[in-house]
Amino acid sequence: MNNKIIRLGHGAGGILTNQLIKTIVLKYFTNTTLRRLEDSAELNVKKNNIAFTTDSYVIDPIFFPGSDIGSLAIYGTVNDLAMKGAIPKFISLSLIIEEGFSIEKLKKILKSASQAAHRAGVSVVCGDTKVVERGKADKIFITTSGIGIIKLHLGKEKIQIGDHIIVSGTIGDHGIAVMNERLQLGLKSTIRSDAAPLNVITTKLFHHTSAIHFMRDPTRGGIASVLNEIVDGTTKGIMIYERDLPIRREVRGACEILGLDPLYVANEGKFVALVDRKSASTLLKKIRNQPLGRNAKIIGEVISEPKGVWLKTKIGGTHPLLQLEAEGLPRIC
Amino acid sequence: MNNKIIRLGHGAGGILTNQLIKTIVLKYFTNTTLRRLEDSAELNVKKNNIAFTTDSYVIDPIFFPGSDIGSLAIYGTVNDLAMKGAIPKFISLSLIIEEGFSIEKLKKILKSASQAAHRAGVSVVCGDTKVVERGKADKIFITTSGIGIIKLHLGKEKIQIGDHIIVSGTIGDHGIAVMNERLQLGLKSTIRSDAAPLNVITTKLFHHTSAIHFMRDPTRGGIASVLNEIVDGTTKGIMIYERDLPIRREVRGACEILGLDPLYVANEGKFVALVDRKSASTLLKKIRNQPLGRNAKIIGEVISEPKGVWLKTKIGGTHPLLQLEAEGLPRIC
């Protein structure tokens, strides 16, 4: 194994990505905000705490059922802010375009991003455009950054043993929709990306100040990877119940054909929330009252032992949900 | 001319870039902040106004005399904030890396970015890493966004006829250093990129609340393009005096060989300030007191007639400095 070059897995959101960030990136940039390795930075601007986040989108293909790179770039960044307990407000949008890219497609992407921003209630307030020679980039890459006003202070340190884990809807839709399009699998299905603005739901939960302990959106690497990141560095474990996982029949079928575990497949419009067990059913009801959250379920809980992330299967067995070295789906966002 | 595809000039910072932004991007994203088309957005977060900016860096080559893509990505964003009268505070850093890129080079770039952040007094607080397949990107692209606290309220509406124009040092150094390296011109010279954090100078000027009217850093497209952007949409003109332009002898020589006008060559550590004429010499002195500003000069003034940007040559002629359709140096930042 050549450790001197970048591999696709370094960008896949698994162990390799984690290693790259911890052993290389954090070596050069050390501040307490960045070291938390959360998706958004919490910044104190005098009296108002703001959340600040960034993501680059290199998804292939750029158009896919249910969304495209434009709206994805807005929702992805909006969702990172929402997960931080913030109201997303301002977005920056920077384009790297390959020479020869179709202006018509650019318009389509920008229109889609614009509609997404409108739906999420954010303003795109600054941007940049760079063009590189033909063959030096793949069609278009978009980097968005976002600023939000923090309303709810969340953190791993708030997670308690016994907390219930809510997922806001069906899992794996985005990854399977993109794979179906990319590989031209021709799966006869209605599977569409779930790309959507999560702040539409989370903003309704903000008055439950102490009941919500932590939130994350399971994008690259899916639910299993995100849950692993959540327990990483804590002394707690997580148990997930297979029978409670909301998975569309078509997604389950596609995963079987492709040999994928839906727990590791990317989502772009779902979140997991770790909440106080006493408030869990109230919160679940509020989430299900929103169209985007109507399939929400309680899927598991925080446990003291064993450490790590575990799946209780339908037939009663228990097996570990390990963090993958590099997930099998590059360029999924 | 094919108007349906993206051309390199669309990313070059001239008329084509301007058209792309005005006719396509602004069509989909309309808010008063973005419409100002300044390099940073001014955001009101309750009582504190913050500046927010983003830029993607696709420079080729990634290492060049005086700097590299890492420090450039920090300084470029820091400088956009400084030009907005802000104290740069927080930076996001997002990487798009080509599969197979050398980890050693990545470390070198991150180290350089880290040192640049230290020098500029900013913290890199969030980031992202994506990897694309070999041949789908050119080594590494970096997108940074930045947040700063606004201390000085600047705007085109403050520009007055008679304002003096200060440039903070020699022009064209960055563009020529990069071209020399990229084209392996082998010009025997000591030309290095001027990439540097301008907030080191501008922060010292912030108590001159009413004397500074507008600032911009002349990056892509150089001084001439930036001055055109400044008068665009106003009823004023600008006259520049050739005899007062600070240009290194080696840069002038290289421009002659390459057939370039130094007024259109990119800088990464210089600014132009439009200031009240009565305060101009005081401000000039303060700028020259800083090591980064020791070659600063007053190079021109704002005039009522004729509109547009003009150069008074050494031999007394006057000729227009037009905005170029697309500058000749792609991927200069």
List B231's β-bridge partners, or say none. none
Tally Cβ neighbours within 10 Å of residue A183.
Answer: 10
In angstroms, the first-to-last Cα distance of chain A is: 26
Interatomic CA distance for residues A92 and A50, integer angstroms:
15
DSSP codes joined into one string, B143-201: EEEEEEEE-S---GGG--TT-EEEE-S-SSHHHHHHHHHHTT----S--------THHH
pLDDT of B325 higher than 90: no
Contacts of A7 in chain B (CB under 8 A): 99-100, 131
Nearest to B113 among A28, A89, A145 (CB): A28
- Best mutation site among A4, A6, A123 for testing chain B: the one with the most B CBs within 10 Å? A6
Rounded-to-integer distance, Cα B89 and Cα B43, Å? 14
Separation in Å, CA of A297 to nearest CA in chain B: 30
pLDDT above 60: residue B80: yes
Q: In chain A, whose CA is at the least distance from the CA of B137?
A: A137
Contact B45 A50 (CB under 8 A): yes
Residue B47: pLDDT over 80: no
Give the mean pLDDT of A39-55: 76
Q: Token digits for B99?
A: 């599969």
Parallel, antiparallel, or unpaired: how do β-strands B63-64 and B40-45 relate? unpaired
CB B117 within 8 A of CB A31: no
What is the distance between the alpha carbons of residues A151 and A116, in angstroms, rounded to a whole number?
A: 22
> Which pLDDT score, from 0 to 100, does residue A20 have?
77
Average pLDDT in chain B: 90
Nearest CB partner across the interface for A126, out of B40, B92, B131: B40
Residue ranges of B 110-169 with Cβ closer than 8 A to chain A: 110-111, 113-114, 117, 123-133, 135-138, 141, 143, 145, 147, 149
Q: Does pLDDT of B40 surpass 70?
A: no
**Which pLDDT belongs to residue B251?**
94
| Candidates A20, A31, A114; nearest CB to B123 | A31
Tens digits of residue pLDDT in A63-109: 999 999 999 999 999 999 999 999 999 999 999 999 998 988 998 99
Which ipTM score applies to this complex? 0.91
Contact list, A46 vs chain B (CB under 8 Å): 47-48
Q: How confident is the model at residue A38 (pLDDT cuts 50, 70, 90)?
A: low
**Percent above pLDDT 90 for chain A:** 67
- Residue B229 is inside which H or E element, if any? helix B222-231
Cα A223 to Cα B65: distance, rounded to the nearest angstrom:
46
A98 touches B: beta carbon within 8 Å: yes
Beta-carbon contacts of residue B178 (< 8 Å; ≥ 6 apart): B59, B61, B64, B193, B266, B329, B332
- How far apart are the C-alpha atoms of B36 and B156, rounded to whole Å? 10
Q: What are A273-291's pLDDT values in tens digits? A: 999 999 999 999 999 999 9
Distance CA A193, CA B288 (A): 56
| Span of A6-20, A92-106, B283-297 with lowest mean pLDDT | A6-20
Angle at B141 between CA B135 and CA B142, to 5 degrees: 160
Q: How far is A19 from chain B (nearest CA, A)?
A: 12
Which residues, in sequence order, are bridge partners of residue B141? B96
Residue B332 to residue A282: CA distance in whole angstroms: 55
| Average pLDDT value for residue range A54-67 | 95
- Joined tokens for residue A170: 């069906």
Q: pLDDT: is B206 or A22 the higher one?
A: B206
Give the minimum alpha-carbon distance from A31 to chain B in angstroms, rounded to a whole number: 7
pLDDT tens readout for residues A162-218: 999 999 999 999 999 999 998 887 776 689 999 999 999 999 998 877 999 999 999
Q: What is the DSSP letter of A324?
A: P
Q: B243 in contact with A at a CB cutoff of 8 Å? A: no
B322/A contact by beta carbon, under 8 A: no
d(CA B178, CA A4): 27
Q: A97 and B3: CB-CB below 8 Å?
A: no
From chain A, pick out residues whose CB is under 8 angstroms from the CB of B45: 45, 48, 50, 89, 147, 149
Q: Whose CA is closest to A192, among A246, A251, A108?
A: A251
On whether any CB of chain B is under 8 Å from the CB of A12, the answer is yes
Percent of chain B whose predicted confidence (pLDDT) is above 70: 92
